[in-house]
Each structure stands twice: as C-alpha cells, then as structure tokens.
Amino acid sequence: MWAVVGLGNPGRRYEDTRHNAGFTFIRRVARSWDVRVKKRRFLSKTAEVRRGPERVVLAMPQTFMNASGQAVRELLAGLDLEPGRLVVVYDDVDIPLGEVRIRKEGGPGTHRGMMSIVQEIETTRFPRIRIGVGPAGPDVDIVAFVLSPFRRGEKALLEESLDKAREALEMILAGRFDQAMNAYN
C-alpha cells in the first residue's frame, strides 16, 4: 500500500493558488484514475484505488498547510503505513514552473507544510515530488506569491508540471524510483 498526499490549504479562497499545487495534482490524478477524493478520514479528504498489485490512498489534508503534519501522522497511523510508503507532493518556489524534482528523502527546506510533516512523523525518510511554481524573484513577498493564483499565461506550464509529476508518481509506485529521479531531476 502507498499513500500519496498532496499539500494545500482547504477552502475556495486558496483553490487555484500556487501553494495548492499539491491539491491540484491529487485532483488530476484522481480524475485520471476515475476516483473522487471526498471521503473524510485522517483529517483529510481521501480516495482509495488499486493500481496494479498496490492499493493507493490519495489524500488532501484538511488542516491548513502549516499543520499538514497532523493529517499525515493520522494517515500513516490509521493505515499502519511506514513513511517510506508515503509520497508527498507539494509546491516549490525555487523550481521553475513547468519542472518537477523527485527525492527519496531529505529535509523540509523552507516549506512550512513539509516542516510540519517532518516534525510530526519524526523522519525525513519519505519520497516527495516537488512541483515548480517559481521563480518568485528576489524582491517578492514569498507568502503573497504562493497564495496568489497562477496567471493565464502560466497555466500551460502548470499543466506540464502536473503531467511530469503524474508520470513520476507512476514510476515510483511501480518501484522505478531511480528512473523517475533520472527522468525529472
């Protein structure tokens, strides 16, 4: 079994913002897998699907971004899942829009949702897919930037990022992690 968690903030106000790239990703994957992410459990909206021999739970925490770790902790405990079977998908302002980066493990960087997850589950040993939403620019207020919607001209690049992230996820779930990293890093 795998858990795939997309990070974002709940509520319409944040729906199309850069910080909700993880939620956008989960919705897109769910649509392509013909499931709906709506069941409320583990402080998240979830859907469960079978992909080949694996059960996969898609989750969108319904805590705010800075408390994402609470939902992830509940999810792992509720599913009796090791962190190595968790894939977290989230926005990254240091990666250009249209690009993704894949990592097997590592620190949270400056992303507060990731900081919360690492603090709550007490490990950095879990895979992640970072979706590029940047660059923000040197004089830009980062909080305002990530809470802003994508501009019309950026939507095609966002679609590219989401497609790449979905392909990388499929590779990860199939046990081809190194291939995913080589393809997208």
Reference 162, options 135, 134, 183, 131; nearest CA is 131
pLDDT band at 42 (very low <50, low <70, confident <90, very high): very high
pLDDT tens, 136-158?
888 899 999 999 999 989 999 99
CA–CA separation, 30 and 125 (whole Å): 25
Percent of the chain with pLDDT over 90: 92
pLDDT tens, 80-90?
999 999 999 99
Does residue 52 carry a pLDDT above 90? no
CATH superfamily of 2-184: Peptidyl-tRNA hydrolase (3.40.50.1470)
Task: Give the residue extent of every domain in the chain.
Answer: 2-184
DSSP state of 11: S
Q: What does the pLDDT read at residue 53?
A: 87
Residues with active-site annotation: 19
CA–CA separation, 182 and 172 (whole Å): 12
pLDDT band at 129 (very low <50, low <70, confident <90, very high): very high
With contact defined as beta carbons under 8 Å apart, do 6 and 26 qualify?
Answer: yes
Arithmetic mean of pLDDT, 30-53: 95
Reference 166, options 15, 2, 27; nearest CA is 27
Arithmetic mean of pLDDT, 90-108: 95
DSSP string, 110-166: T-HHHHHHHHHH----S-EEEEEEE---TTS-HHHHHTSBPPGGGHHHHHHHHHHHH
Mean pLDDT of the chain: 95
Does residue 74 carry a pLDDT above 90? yes
Does residue 108 carry a pLDDT above 90? yes
Angle, alpha carbons 12-13-18 (nearest 5°): 100
Does residue 58 carry a pLDDT above 90? yes
Q: What does the pLDDT read at residue 138?
A: 85
